């Protein structure tokens, strides 16, 4: 990945195998009620190359003792689904930084080393930066495997490293007797390294069993990835967490101010105010190239702008026979992206009410062309509020003050891009439109809950 912003602009990444195997994975204020009781791991976080040979022989033993061995197989080569977790309740809360991405800090290893990771509901495998810390070099935010007694490389003999393993989403290769992986993102940048196991230390008394992680030695990104999708190697699946939620704060006007939000793993005390939608599943599309069964697929039904419901058929927000048109929520994606039929209707309405202020020929990030030069307050007044509609009468309100994003140089763009210009065929609900909103992922009940909130406050 070239930069944090490119991670967020480019939502589709390719899992690349040197043998030629590739596959694609998308990387992301309501009027709302109901709550469900679950026994879950509860945690909360504040949002704000060296040979990896330590304890290599013990990696298989560590895996056998972890929660992975009890998880079911998926459907097809790169399709897997995490088990519905079951575990005693462990409450943990913290905060995260929000600056185009949700950046949590998690302590990994024994003794723990704090690492920054992008909370990404569009990814499965979590990976971290690995580099030996040299005494004479400046301090780094990377992880030093040699300092962790619980660190272990995953051997080539591990079932997770076998190419024939049908439910592993990440093609691998064997290098120097350890399991090697490579991620190519849509912008052409690369993250690669070894598959390893180590522990997350959530508090002095709360430590996970060994997790499978990527330990990258080749990435330009300062942060790692905390994979939070439905895959069996995601953080929730490996930790057997049945719920997680986050509240994305409003991004401030000055880049020097980094707002902080809240992230729970497990029960959220605010959930009684949430309104829920059921996650959609399409078993018949599991093997289709344009469909991601590990994503959180939302039952979107429509879009309103300025009180006017746009003429977009519900079928536009549902996958077709080839999997195109899936609507997913992705915390790792900065903006929202729509397939051509939905995007054209949104753009048509924006041009109708504010077209004279449109910056002609300007495209931001390769996919956003509803951009303006003029006074953003006046343009927001012309466009009005935006509402994303879902089944069960759930509506996510985007106030007119949050319709435009300042992209620099005096230019402001509607925070919606065209999926096809990005190279994907899905509708993606990004974190820009999740500001001042609780989003809860109830894995046990297969629901997503929304609740309006002031996320800049301690919640």
Residues serving a catalytic function are 120, 330
Q: What's the CA gap between 416 and 428, in Å, rounded?
A: 10
Q: Residues 398, 385: contact at Cβ < 8 Å?
A: yes
Q: How far apart are CA 232 and CA 404, in angstroms?
A: 37
Neighbouring-strand partners of residue 129? 216
Rg (CA), the chain: 21
Three-class SS state of 304: strand
Give the phi and the psi of residue 105 in degrees, each rounded to 5.
-115, 120
DSSP string across 106-138: EEETTTTEEEEEEEETT--S-EEEB-PPPTTSP
**Residue 153 near residue 196 (C-beta atoms within 8 A):** yes
Q: What is the distance between the alpha carbons of residues 207 and 90, in angstroms, rounded to a whole number?
A: 11
> Residues of 34-57 as b/e, b for ≥16 C-beta within 10 angstroms?
ebeebebbbbbbbbbeeebbbbbe
Element (H, E) at 350: helix 340-354
Q: How far apart are CA 107 and CA 84, in angstroms?
A: 25
Local structure of 79: helix, strand or coil: coil
Nearest CA to 325 out of 350, 351, 288 is that of 288
Question: Residue 26: beta bridge partners?
Answer: 12
- Smallest CA-to-CA distance from 129 within 119, 110, 143 is with 143
| Residue 337: alpha-carbon gap to chain centroid | 14
Alpha carbons 22 and 312: distance in angstroms, whole number? 33
Element (H, E) at 62: helix 59-64
* DSSP class per residue in 373-385: -S-HHHHHHHH--
**Contact 105/112 with Cβ under 8 angstroms?**
no
Beta strand 260-265 with 93-98 is: antiparallel
Nearest by Cα to 162 from 277, 69, 40, 77: 77
SS3 315: helix
Does the CA dihedral 223-229-235-238 come out positive or negative?
Answer: negative
Residue 70 CB burial class (10 angstroms; 0-12, 13-18, ≥19): exposed
């Amino acid at each position: 990945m070239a930069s944090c912003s490119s991670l967020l602009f480019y939502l589709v990444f390719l899992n690349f195998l040197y043998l030629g195997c590739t596959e694609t994975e998308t990387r992301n204020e309501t009027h709302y009620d109901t709550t469900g009781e679950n026994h879950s791991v509860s945690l909360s976080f504040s949002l704000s190359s060296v040979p990896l040979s330590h304890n290599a022989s013990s990696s298989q033993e560590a895996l056998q003792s972890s929660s992975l061995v009890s998880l079911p197989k998926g459907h097809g080569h790169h399709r897997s689904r995490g088990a519905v977790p079951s575990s005693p309740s462990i409450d943990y809360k913290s905060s995260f930084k929000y600056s185009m991405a949700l950046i949590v800090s998690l302590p990994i290893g024994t003794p723990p080393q704090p690492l920054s990771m992008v909370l990404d509901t569009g990814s499965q495998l979590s990976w971290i930066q690995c580099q030996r810390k040299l005494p004479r070099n400046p301090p780094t935010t990377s992880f030093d495997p040699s300092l962790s007694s619980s660190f272990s490389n995953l051997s080539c003999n591990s079932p997770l490293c076998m190419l024939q393993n049908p439910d592993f989403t990440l093609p691998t290769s064997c290098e120097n007797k350890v399991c090697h992986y490579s991620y190519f993102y849509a912008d052409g940048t690369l993250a690669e390294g070894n598959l390893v196991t180590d522990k997350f230390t959530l508090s002095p008394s709360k430590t996970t069993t060994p997790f499978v992680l990527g330990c990258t030695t080749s990435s330009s990104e300062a942060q790692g990835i905390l994979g939070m999708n439905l895959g069996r190697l995601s953080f929730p699946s490996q930790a057997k967490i049945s719920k997680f939620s986050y509240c994305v704060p409003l991004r401030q006007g000055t880049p020097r101010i980094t707002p902080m939000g809240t992230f729970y793993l497990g029960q959220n005390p605010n959930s009684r105010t949430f309104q829920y939608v059921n996650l959609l599943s399409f078993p018949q599309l599991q093997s289709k190239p344009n469909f991601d069964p590990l994503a959180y697929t939302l039952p979107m039904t429509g879009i309103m702008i300025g009180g006017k419901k746009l003429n977009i058929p519900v079928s536009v927000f549902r996958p077709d026979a080839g999997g195109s048109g899936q609507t997913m929520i992705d915390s790792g994606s900065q903006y929202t992206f729509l397939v051509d039929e939905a995007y054209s209707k949104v753009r048509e309405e924006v041009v109708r009410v504010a077209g004279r202020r449109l910056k002609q020929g300007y495209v931001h990030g390769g996919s956003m062309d509803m951009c303006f030069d003029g006074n953003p307050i006046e343009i927001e007044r012309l466009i009005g509020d935006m509402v994303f509609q879902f089944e069960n009468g759930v509506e996510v309100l985007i106030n007119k003050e949050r319709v435009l994003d300042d992209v620099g140089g005096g230019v402001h763009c509607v925070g919606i891009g065209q999926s096809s210009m990005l190279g994907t065929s899905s509708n993606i609900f990004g974190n820009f439109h999740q500001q001042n909103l609780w989003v809860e992922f109830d894995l046990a009940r297969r629901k997503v809950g929304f609740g309006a909130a002031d996320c800049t406050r301690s919640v």
